[in-house]
Structure 1
């Protein structure tokens, strides 16, 4: 039997015309989605996609499977909708908080799946940069909030009424202007190579990143521009203009709107964990259903990447 998540991935590639664009839509990394598609092809026993320089197209077998997959997925969505009515999800409101990167890159596909499954639930989304989302959950202002933490960092105590559930872990990577001397190469770049490099720093007013920036300082990177908070679109724009290099989450680097080059670092232990914060002292059907969708979407991505 075919995994419905892999069928959904094939349908997404058919609609997007590209594995990369489909991965962005689904919240996968491109390698993770490619692995899922490869597993589906092994299950099918035949090629389903032809990769080319502009993207990917379906083979005849792929077209046949996509047509069937759409029917299967439609039936599953209808089943979720009918079950929702039985479990009290035929109305009400789900209040979400999110920070900018997650709100743009991760939240839309999960919200879209939630809306398809539970069309009668009213959705509200608030922009809450960490740690404000956790505080809003504790205060009851939102039901769930996407938040993040960095490694290395000192542990941060959570309110007693709030728990966080990790949904996605990503490395921090180096971004430079195209053509920069450190952009030349595909191997991981030792941190010692940052010695003397002008660094766009985000540490002054952002406690979560201080541990990361301390590691970069020990490697010899020299702060050149101070950004009060990590507005990553601004950071990448400054990097693109040649004002320095920066260390940002991989998702940020891959989706930068200004041209930058990306390089993995060695060792690869600088990370950002994206989590969903929720209350532990109460249960709400809509919030529980949304968390289940998050686990499904990003749990698959983590397993495939591993």
Structure 2
């Protein structure tokens, strides 16, 4: 039985007139596509292409196989569409909510995989600062929402129709200006070393940060600047300018636009869990498919050590 990927490679070469141009169209390297064609020739037991400095042309055997290959590929594509319709994954719109960090760092690769698998489903993305995304799912404004919770924190009640599925658990880390005295070394920094340090503080009254801010206060960190609304890009910029230190999710510290030093803390029990909020009371094939892709991409990272 012929491999459909190799049949598609042969059709692409026939249409492009050269292996190099076909490779560019398919996103292969030229040697990789040549290998696919060579394997197909071994499967067919015949030479399918004649290569020259002008490109590549089909042999009689190649012409015959391309005609059949187009029919096979058309049938497979039709089957994909029919299966998608059967599963409820043809047409319609998947509405996603996200917050800024997840929207930049996590969402794009999963959206790309979803689009490749289900190109007929339209995508809509809206920004919700946690925990507003959970409310948006409960209200039917979006099908799924990426949200987050922090530890330590009191658990927030969930609407009866909504569940949270953890996607990624990350530690909170210390960020400092480059060259800061606490930035040196690779060992974890004891939380009590923050005593007396000026702190760029995320609004202590914000529900998701209240427990973390309380832990920092107990350690003796002194609020220097209060950022009244959640905005880690601003926090890191203020830290980089030398206005204080801050404790932020590791993903934020490692990808900060402004230069900062990053150091892990001891004990490592300050955490942020990123979850996907979804409805539990209605069938949603597109949302289920997207959640499966999230599990595939980040499932291991969601398991705590």
TM-score interval, normalised by the smaller of the two chains:
0.7 to 0.9
Q: Structure 1 CA distance, aligned partners of 2:204 and 2:216?
A: 14
Instruction: Output aligned runs, 1:128-167, within 5 Å.
Output: 128-167=128-167
Q: Structure 2 CA distance, aligned partners of 1:292 and 1:103?
A: 18
Instruction: Output aligned runs, 1:199-214, within 5 Å.
Output: 199-214=199-214
1:273 aligns with 2:277: no
Inter-CA distance 295–80: structure 2 relative to 1 (3 Å threshold): farther
Q: Structure 1 CA distance, aligned partners of 2:80 and 2:253?
A: 35
How far off its partner does 1:217 sit?
Answer: 0.6
Q: Structure 2 CA distance, aligned partners of 1:275 and 1:213?
A: 21
Q: Structure 1 CA distance, aligned partners of 2:198 and 2:231?
A: 18
Q: Which has a greater percent of helix?
A: 1
CA contact (8 A) 2:235 2:246 kept: yes
1:296 aligns with 2:283: no
The ranges of structure 1 where at least 4 consecutive aligned residues each deviate by more than 3 angstroms after the TM superposition are: 78-83, 300-303
How far off its partner does 1:205 sit?
Answer: 3.9
CA contact (8 A) 1:205 1:229 kept: no
Cα deviation digits, residues 170-191 of structure 1 (max 9, x gap): 0000000000000011000000
Q: Structure 1 CA distance, aligned partners of 2:132 and 2:164?
A: 14
1:197 aligns with 2:197: yes
Q: Structure 1 CA distance, aligned partners of 2:87 and 2:139?
A: 26
Cα deviation digits, residues 196-251 of structure 1 (max 9, x gap): 00000113341111100111111100000000122000000000000000000000
Aligned residue in 2 for 1:92: 92
Aligned residue in 1 for 2:178: 178
Q: Given the two structures, how large is their TM-score scaled by the length of structure 2?
A: 0.73
Aligned residue in 2 for 1:263: 263
Cα deviation digits, residues 264-291 of structure 1 (max 9, x gap): 0000000000000011111211001001
CA contact (8 A) 1:203 1:209 kept: yes
The gaps in structure 2 that reach 5 residues or longer are 1-30, 40-72
The gaps in structure 1 that reach 5 residues or longer are 1-62
Aligned residue in 1 for 2:234: 234
Inter-CA distance 80–167: structure 2 relative to 1 (3 Å threshold): farther
CA contact (8 A) 1:149 1:273 kept: yes
Task: Give the match's secondary structure for 1:213.
Answer: helix
Q: Structure 2 CA distance, aligned partners of 1:165 and 1:81?
A: 29
* Length, aligned pairs only: 235
Q: Structure 2 CA distance, aligned partners of 1:233 and 1:170?
A: 18
Aligned residue in 2 for 1:118: 118
